Chain A
Amino acid sequence: AQKVTQAQTEISVVEKEDVTLDCVYETRDTTYYLFWYKQPPSGELVFLIRRNSFDEQNEISGRYSWNFQKSTSSFNFTITASQVVDSAVYFCALLYNNNDMRFGAGTRLTVKP
């Protein structure tokens, strides 16, 4: 089965705290892609990162970092020094068969001032 699990439904932190959003995936495919998207209240899904299954190198982009571990089928997302503008729903997604993308249920992050 192809599946994405985001166990954290909601997270609330105070500004400047670090926060990690968990993502666990299941797939039988050896070639696949993992994504993170941000969905602010406006509703548009904003692309954050894409990682292919052969590239386990972790990535840092400003305050964002991603930890991909095939051994545990996880692709976690950390925001360092969170800001109020980071408040949104974050989705992890798995792309396989080149066009079939499965999303997790999302994690609602609230950053309080």
Chain B
Amino acid sequence: GAGVSQSPRYKVAKRGQDVALRCDPISGHVSLFWYQQALGQGPEFLTYFQNEAQLDKSGLPSDRFFAERPEGSVSTLKIQRTQQEDSAVYLCASSPRIAGGYTFGSGTRLTVV
């Protein structure tokens, strides 16, 4: 597609529920990033893929967070046993090359109640 597509746009989860957030990057973009943006804050790095390889997951806040990109295109961010502090907008970005101008998706707003 023309841009980075994320789904769902909004997600409400009950505390303890598992969620899966999807990112469709721009076709051909090798780099894919996940960020977490809390209300009123700047995005915080979660994890980075180059093709299907997860090269950096240092930003994942706990072992409840897991990301994958099995075929080097679509990526899924999974959060297990959601907690209220997980409520945030989750942004996905892709880039055709390292240190490029990333294109961000519109994000998924997760609310844990």
Contacts and interface: CB of A to CB of B under 8 A. Distances in A.
A91 B42 contact: yes
A99 B43 contact: no
Interface in A31-50: 33, 35, 37, 42-47, 50
Contacts of B89: 43
A44 B105 contact: yes
Interface string A43-63: 111110010100000000000
Interface residues of A, number: 24
B21 interface: no
A54 B57 CA distance: 28
Interface of B: 31, 33, 35, 40-45, 48, 50, 55-56, 89, 91, 93, 98-107, 109
